[in-house]
Structure 1
Amino acid sequence: MDRRDFLRAMGLTAAVSGTGALLAACHANEQSGGGALTVSSGGTLYILYDGTSQRLDPAKSQSLAITLSGLIHRRLTAWKTSADGPATVVPDLATDTGRASADGKTWTFTLKDGLKMSDGTPITSAEIKYGVERSFDPAFSGGLGYHKTLLAGGGAYTGPFKGGDLASIETPDAKTIVFHLARPYGDWPWIVSMPAFAPVPKGKGTDANYDSAPVASGPYQLESLTKGVELRLSRNPNWDPKTDVARTGLPDAVVMQLGQDTGVTAQRLLASAGNDAFAFGAAFVNPAQLAQIRTNPAAKNQLVTSESGALAYLALNTRRGPLANVKVRQAFQYAVDKTAFQIASAGSADLAGPIATTLITEGIAGREVFDLYPAPPSGDVAKAKQLLAEAGFPNGIQNLDFPVSTDNNDADKAQAIQAALQRAGIQTKLRPLDEDAWQAVVTGNDDNAYDLTLGSWQPDFPSANSNIQPLFGTSEIGNGGYNQSRYSVPDVDALIAQAQGTIDPAAAGKLWAQTDRRILQDSPVVPLIYTRNSFLHGSKVGDFEIGQFPAYPNYLQIGLAK
């Protein structure tokens, strides 16, 4: 999926304010870590967010496990992130990451002892079951919904208020919860780290007001909410840090300031006056600002940049005209100029992110590095022309329809792609569309609606499954799905199903790497770059680190210096 709408909902969108002149004197320097501050318990952490609302109802949330929702809600499992290796799944409310049956269709979890919610409600299997069941009710839609098709009977279930109990979730006792799946699924331990698996006391959350009054299981509870202005979190007195390996819970309070101008935010954080010294920006820094900020040695400990991130790619409609020919699609691998794309994306190669050659992104366990189409970063025009000739197009290809979103700087990136393709005799016509119209075209049901388009994919959880299946599974073509290349190959679908049903992570990783190679042999997309993200924080914010995955700071670990 193009993650722009998803990231907006999380407060992780790129800043677009033009305040370069005001930042020109800052001369900041990029660094890959959060500095050497010594943090301690106490203080108030401030989050400066350009959006005007946050989804605090776990049934409606699409938040990554390491962002704001994770400070309020615990789940059965959690993510452990590291700059030194891939993200790993760890126990959270559960004692382990789940025990699978021999056929991979039944998963059992045991809860830790003595867990309580902020209102004093004991956290039992019943609260987990009820929380998951709520997410099926249409009134609480919008959250991450992988579990809805994986749980047996989930497709027809309408939630606890109209549909009663979901039989595929069993609670034989207060500490045991058993999930019966419709098919084997090795990534179930990642699925239960998603927001919908947060406990909700029975009888709560019966209407939309739960978004403004959630009962907490994490280190913080909602103290106050001024819509469009601020939400304030205070300590949850019933949170026990001894049971929580994912969260440090160091600050006494967390305040998210809403509706912040991203350009002003950058100035405030660099100045670090007053409370801004204890703040960070939830939006990543845009390239125009970053190019100036990173030249300032005084700010080097306030700027943190990911090593890589979301996959940016060029999708080729495999069901459309000449692009149905695999050799034509392979020609695109050599025709593109990835360096030009980097410059168009962020002004320089190092700011944009490293060149991509695989579909599985960095920081995902099992990823293998390979390049089926070795070429200089600027491309190999002669090789592209050779493949076009072998495909029966010695004079090139004309008039390919190239819809592009007018959001962000996608038009600049598309123009860089267009110019590179033209060198090989591939002529495209750019079709600018607003974001909603573009989404309707590339995720709609008309196979003939376009020839190629730009996409960007941020996996929802740290598994190659989340890289591959949503972009290349036949089930994801049309109907709002993000298989933008309209790619449908039975043996690839079979590989995806086999990898999803493999319980052993190492064995599954090998299958996903095999699938990655198999898909790229057909060249349905051209991997372009792994997009880097940069974030600013105040001078008193420590443990502000971005792991290998995801390319965002881990809110759950941040602490403050005195």
Structure 2
Amino acid sequence: MSKKWLGLAAAGTSAAMLLTACGGGGGNEDGGSDVSVDDSAISGIVDESTEQGGTLNYAHSDQFDSLDPGNTYYAANWDFTRYFARTLVTYEQKPGEAGLELVPDLATDLGEVSDDGLTWTYTLKEGLKFQDGSDITAEDVKYAIARSNFAPEVLNKGPNYFNTHLDAGGYEGPYEDGNLDNFSGISTPDDRTVEFHLNEPFAEFDYLAAFPQTAPVPADADTGDQYQTQVVSSGPYRFDGEWTPGKQLTLVRNEEYDPETDPLTRNRPDKVQVQWKQEENDRDKRLLNGDLHMDVSGVGVEASARQDILRDDELKANADNPQTGFLLYFALNSNVEPFDDRACREAILYGADKTAMQGAWGGSIAGDIATNMLPPSIPGYKDTDPYGTEGQTGDEAKVDESLEECGMADGFSTNIAYRSDRDKEKKAAEALQQSLKQYGIDTELKGYPAGTYTSEQAGSPAFVEREELGILAYGWGADWPSGYGFLQQIMHGDAIKDAGNANLSELDDPEVNKLLDQAATTDDPTSREEIYADVNALAMDSATFLPYLNQKALLYRPEGLSNVYFSEAYKMYDYSALGLEQN
């Protein structure tokens, strides 16, 4: 995913749904039938402790898209930014279903909605401070949302829900319009009151208030896309001087932070450090040896470490294998020839060997084969498989029929994009490449860094068309677990952006758009679920999506960590809760 997953208990999502696998498929590449691990951190807290102190060390095989809380769309980063960016509301610091509950963070309570559903009001707590001791005000929150959602020419890596739902007229953002009073989508009648003015009712708005885009930004400290080098902290840690992208990041305690105003305990270590651009297998080796505390990307260990864990009972005792809520898929872009022809797209869907792609990620321990574009944990999911083949290995007759229909009986060639620092994603692309080759469909693999994949390559429609990237590897998880939170950014035509685009298929189907807009204003959860099922069916019928894996991750927690648990909100360990055992 690039993305994060947030809780929507009100829509009927339960911890049981989120934690239960939906059936087998494939095998386990590591051999043997026992691929079970400890899993204690899925439903409970491992090594619960109140101790503080020490340096918590993270590593990443690449780097985040941006450390600017208003300019990021990676799930792990939304988890990580809670160290230095407090939001209007946040998620309870608990394992299991309890961790899906929204609690007020900077705000005194959850949003108060007007009778007509068009105004949501939040009141800031008293005594909130930035790292320099200045007061955090309602205008700082308003400015943060103005810059993150209304200035795509400067900040384009995050989602644009506020732009979609706020009644902001033709506001052009703070870099074009220096008068914040012209931003009518939000009003601030006093220093502690933030009023959001919507263009239509939106029942799930509180979930937007948990986005890092609501973390306050003082306007006089904003440096546009360079703000990530020295974010002004509203949380328990601050940057230790100006950060240079690619270099080690060090967070130290923010002396102006008042834990009494915080519903979470997120200040256990004395210092937090992150090393970027670390080779994956070396990172995993350090993790298993205890020389590293956490892989900050949260995607799980690679094949070599996975084998080591599954063959060693002591290592198994420190491992968890949760359902992540991620759906892994390939997007087929209909603006790239020959995928402007539906039948050519269908040839890919019928020719894909999903069992081989599942094996590329590690077999059954990596997840269950996906057959449509809603994960089982999302309300609205139905067990459908419109392009299913026997054994999920492909159907030669269907491929031949599709190729004949699209006028490419002898096959064709195209390119497959993937994130070059993600070995498992590369192997899945190679598996797809091999399965298509037997039908005369030749593909060239093109790898790009994860840190720029959605902002400059796969997420740039102009780049995709210029480089003829017909097939694009991606992973997605809901911004919060409703069908809208999962589907809108990857399927609605209005979500297509010049950069930072998550709708890699560039699907712009009027009926899909209409249904998603309808769901946003529908109060009844059951009715919304039916709409999401219809959207899913239409998306699959468009033949622009090749879903192949409902992902699980093999996560490792070395000795010495305390307060470790899997967050159902962020779908990885809750970084803000972690501490270190003190000897």
Distance, in Å, in 2 between the alignment partners of 1:153 and 1:440 is 25
Structure 1 segment 405-444 matched on structure 2, within 5 A: 405=417, 407=420, 408-409=422-423, 410=425, 412-421=427-436, 426-435=439-448, 439=458
Query: Which deviates more, 82-91 or 115-124?
Result: 82-91
Amino acid paired to 2:179: G
Tell me whether 1:270 sits opposite 2:288 in the alignment. yes
The alignment covers a number of residue pairs equal to 529
Instruction: Look up the match of 2:11.
Output: none
Instruction: Look up the match of 2:205.
Output: 188
- Equivalent in 344, 350, 355 of residue 364 of structure 2: 350
State the shift of 1:494 in Å.
Answer: 0.5
Deviation string 1:164-222 (CA, Å, 9 cap, x unpaired) is: 11232111123211122344444432333222311234533357775444332222233
Distance, in Å, in 2 between the alignment partners of 1:441 and 1:121 is 38
Q: Is the 2:72–2:158 contact (alpha carbons within 8 Å) kept by the matching residues of 1? A: yes
Deviation string 1:281-318 (CA, Å, 9 cap, x unpaired) is: 22442223322333222222433333234322233455
Tell me whether 1:306 sits opposite 2:322 in the alignment. yes
Instruction: Look up the match of 1:72.
Output: 84
Q: Is the 1:460–1:466 contact (alpha carbons within 8 Å) kept by the matching residues of 2? A: yes
- Equivalent in 35, 46, 63 of residue 36 of structure 1: 46
> Are residues 67 and 61 of structure 1, via their aligned partners in 2, closer, same or farther at CA, if it must alter by over 3 Å?
same
Amino acid paired to 1:32: D
Amino acid paired to 2:518: Q
Distance, in Å, in 1 between the alignment partners of 2:460 and 2:188 is 44
- Equivalent in 97, 121, 131 of residue 118 of structure 1: 131
Instruction: Look up the match of 1:524.
Output: 544
State the shift of 1:74 in Å.
Answer: 0.5
> Are residues 330 and 510 of structure 1, via their aligned partners in 2, closer, same or farther at CA, if it must alter by over 3 Å?
same
> Are residues 242 and 264 of structure 1, via their aligned partners in 2, closer, same or farther at CA, if it must alter by over 3 Å?
same
1:430 partner SS: strand
State the shift of 1:37 in Å.
Answer: 1.9
- Equivalent in 403, 416, 419 of residue 404 of structure 1: 416
Q: Is the 2:329–2:546 contact (alpha carbons within 8 Å) kept by the matching residues of 1? A: yes
Instruction: Look up the match of 2:267.
Output: 249
- Equivalent in 477, 500, 521 of residue 520 of structure 2: 500
Distance, in Å, in 1 between the alignment partners of 2:466 and 2:493 is 13
Instruction: Look up the match of 1:167.
Output: 184
Distance, in Å, in 1 between the alignment partners of 2:399 and 2:115 is 47
State the shift of 1:394 in Å.
Answer: 12
Tell me whether 1:487 sits opposite 2:507 in the alignment. yes
Structure 1 segment 290-329 matched on structure 2, within 5 A: 290-317=306-333
Deviation string 1:377-412 (CA, Å, 9 cap, x unpaired) is: 723756x73696599759994323331136245554
Query: Which deviates more, 28-37 or 243-252?
Result: 28-37
Amino acid paired to 2:217: V
State the shift of 1:71 in Å.
Answer: 0.9
Distance, in Å, in 2 between the alignment partners of 1:494 and 1:447 is 30
Distance, in Å, in 1 between the alignment partners of 2:338 and 2:329 is 19
Q: Is the 2:414–2:469 contact (alpha carbons within 8 Å) kept by the matching residues of 1? A: yes
Unaligned residue ranges in structure 1 (runs of 5+): 7-27
- Equivalent in 215, 220, 223 of residue 198 of structure 1: 215
Tell me the C-alpha RMSD between the 2 structures.
4.1
Distance, in Å, in 2 between the alignment partners of 1:259 and 1:420 is 31
TM score, norm. by length of structure 2: 0.76
State the shift of 1:255 in Å.
Answer: 3.0
Instruction: Look up the match of 1:12.
Output: none
1:109 partner SS: strand
Instruction: Look up the match of 2:58.
Output: 48
Amino acid paired to 1:455: Y
Q: Is the 2:251–2:272 contact (alpha carbons within 8 Å) kept by the matching residues of 1? A: yes
Amino acid paired to 1:236: N
2:220 partner SS: coil
1:217 partner SS: coil
> Are residues 377 and 555 of structure 1, via their aligned partners in 2, closer, same or farther at CA, if it must alter by over 3 Å?
farther
Distance, in Å, in 2 between the alignment partners of 1:464 and 1:555 is 26
State the shift of 1:539 in Å.
Answer: 0.5
> Are residues 101 and 518 of structure 1, via their aligned partners in 2, closer, same or farther at CA, if it must alter by over 3 Å?
farther
Identity value in percent: 24
Distance, in Å, in 2 between the alignment partners of 1:85 and 1:422 is 47
Q: Is the 1:44–1:252 contact (alpha carbons within 8 Å) kept by the matching residues of 2? A: yes
Distance, in Å, in 2 between the alignment partners of 1:458 and 1:71 is 22
Instruction: Look up the match of 1:467.
Output: 486
Unaligned residue ranges in structure 2 (runs of 5+): 5-34
Distance, in Å, in 2 between the alignment partners of 1:440 and 1:42 is 41
Distance, in Å, in 2 between the alignment partners of 1:139 and 1:332 is 35
State the shift of 1:107 in Å.
Answer: 2.1
> Are residues 440 and 242 of structure 1, via their aligned partners in 2, closer, same or farther at CA, if it must alter by over 3 Å?
closer
Instruction: Look up the match of 1:132.
Output: 145
Amino acid paired to 1:417: L
TM score, norm. by length of structure 1: 0.78
State the shift of 1:260 in Å.
Answer: 4.2
Instruction: Look up the match of 2:535.
Output: 515
> Are residues 45 and 324 of structure 1, via their aligned partners in 2, closer, same or farther at CA, if it must alter by over 3 Å?
same
State the shift of 1:76 in Å.
Answer: 0.9
Instruction: Look up the match of 1:93.
Output: 106
